[in-house]
Amino acid sequence: MNLRASVVSCVLVAAVALAAGCGQDAALVGGECASGLTECALRCVDLSRDPANCGACGHACDPGVACVAGACAAAPYGVDATVGDANGDDGGATVDGTVSDGGRGDGNATDGAASTDGASTDGPSDARDAATAPDGAACVPPYDTLDQCGSCVTACAPPNDVCAAQGDGSYACVQLCTSPLVNCGGACVDKTNDPFNCGACGKVCPSHLCAGSTCQGSTPGDVVLIGHDYATTPSSTAQGTVLQNAVFIPSTNPLRVMSFERYADATATANAKKILAGRAAQQQRTLSYTATSTDGDVPAKLTAADYDVLVVHDQKAAPTGALATLGSSWATTLGAFTKAGGVIVVLDGDAGTGEMPQFSTSGGLFQVTSHAPVLAGSAVTVTAPSDDVGVGVLSPYGVWAHTATFTLGNLTNVTLIVRNGDGTGAPIVAHRVVP
């Protein structure tokens, strides 16, 4: 179109619509549309975001659907995308999961969420498909999260651990840091010598000296013995807070936990993990949880370079003598782990075969000569509220079923956190610092 024609067009259109498309926002400059705009029916439009001309002149998005980067954005997954109906045969509704789920008007009746609904006839999805995310997940622009970066089905994973804008309105997974630097909470650090991230993100060296990814000088570790059973304990209770405090003693993020569960009760371990996940969410930290039922995994894999915490759940179904032998075989590894700053949490409630005292003793963690039951609902007292394990724990609090008290020997470097009754009774929770 030449300049004369464009002027005539604006004059003719002005009588009807006040020159829509010929104003300053979509002006013709020297007879052409401004840079970045395209002429469609005598209007200068942005094909990357105009829902009436999305990607090409005349290609209109459904009512209420945005145009993003030249494509009609997907409706939230599970919402029918077809105008005027509510069935799941054309909008990708999750309620039917049929193979005909797809985008209205895309010409491919079998278009659907590739491999997400299990149908063998799933086809390639397009920008108009609603079924572009796993069942039940919402998928809406601008696709700028780690789980949906650039598209509904693209999740960022290391080393591409950041979802970054690309300058054209789109997003892509990119690597924030280049080796030897790593991403710790959005900052690029060298874990080999950073005293605030020594060997792991968030691992602070008490000596403020880090060399070879290891804190130099004295690096105290911790052993916590907890006489509570967690099969029925809610997260919001004081008993739940005790467990959270013990496991979250390290400041690392992600917090790397090895969980030994060979003879443990599945309900109790699952509930304990739920309680710990609650604390991780509160602190906006990532909990990296590795469960094992293999005895040899601890001596073979437990190092302070790879893990921050070892949780040994109450091994309620352990046969007689098994845990005494297990503790002896792990003793060297457990000692090295705590001396390097690792934390070991041992759970020993009054349930099952009662083998945990032998494990604690033979493993060199605590000298436990016996344990005894505490009546459910009994009041116990926090006697060390300033200790890492006791901080913020309501006192007194009532215990849940299968709580136990301990008879302990050698209380060197041991703090009794929770005691039965008025605070003078037998210990229920103890914390030992390993220098």
Among 125-129, 138-142, 207-211, the least confident range = 125-129
Could you tell me if residue 93 is inside a domain?
no
For 220-258, give one letter per residue: b (16+ CB within 10 A) or e. Answer: ebbbbbbbbbbbebebebbbbbbbbbbbbbbbbbebbbb
Could you tell me if residue 352 is inside a domain?
yes
pLDDT in tens, 234-279: 989 999 999 999 999 999 999 999 999 999 999 999 999 999 999 9
**Distance from C-alpha of 230 to C-alpha of 265, rounded to nearest angstrom:** 10
Q: How far is CA 274 from CA 105, 249, 282, in A?
A: 45, 18, 13
Which tokens in the block code for residue 65?
A: 């659907």
Which residues form the domain of 321? Answer: 221-434
Among 38-42, 70-74, 87-91, 346-350, the least confident range = 87-91
pTM of this prediction exceeds 0.85: no
Could you tell me if residue 81 is inside a domain?
no
**Residue 292 belongs to domain with CATH number:** 3.40.50
- Where is pLDDT greater, at 104 or 432? 432
| Mean pLDDT confidence for 361-381 | 96
Q: What percent of the chain stands above pLDDT 90?
A: 50
Could you tell me if residue 87 is inside a domain?
no
Q: pLDDT value at position 105?
A: 37
Counting the structural domains of the chain, the total is 1
- Helix, strand, coil fractions of the chain, as percent rounded to 5: 15, 25, 60
Could you tell me if residue 54 is inside a domain?
no
pLDDT in tens, 25-63: 444 445 578 778 888 877 888 888 888 888 899 888 887
Cβ atoms of 233 and 341 closer than 8 Å: no
pLDDT in tens, 337-346: 999 999 999 9
Q: pLDDT value at position 359?
A: 98
Q: What is the mean pLDDT of the chain?
A: 80
Could you tell me if residue 320 is inside a domain?
yes
Cβ atoms of 203 and 183 closer than 8 Å: no
Q: How far is CA 215 from CA 42, 159, 209, 212, 219, in A?
A: 70, 25, 6, 8, 7
DSSP assignment of 150-162, as one string? SSTT---BTTB-E
**Distance from C-alpha of 310 to C-alpha of 331, rounded to nearest angstrom:** 13
Could you tell me if residue 45 is inside a domain?
no
Could you tell me if residue 378 is inside a domain?
yes
Beta strands in 93-242, from DSSP E residues, in sequence order: 162-165, 171-174, 182-184, 187-189, 210-211, 214-215, 221-226
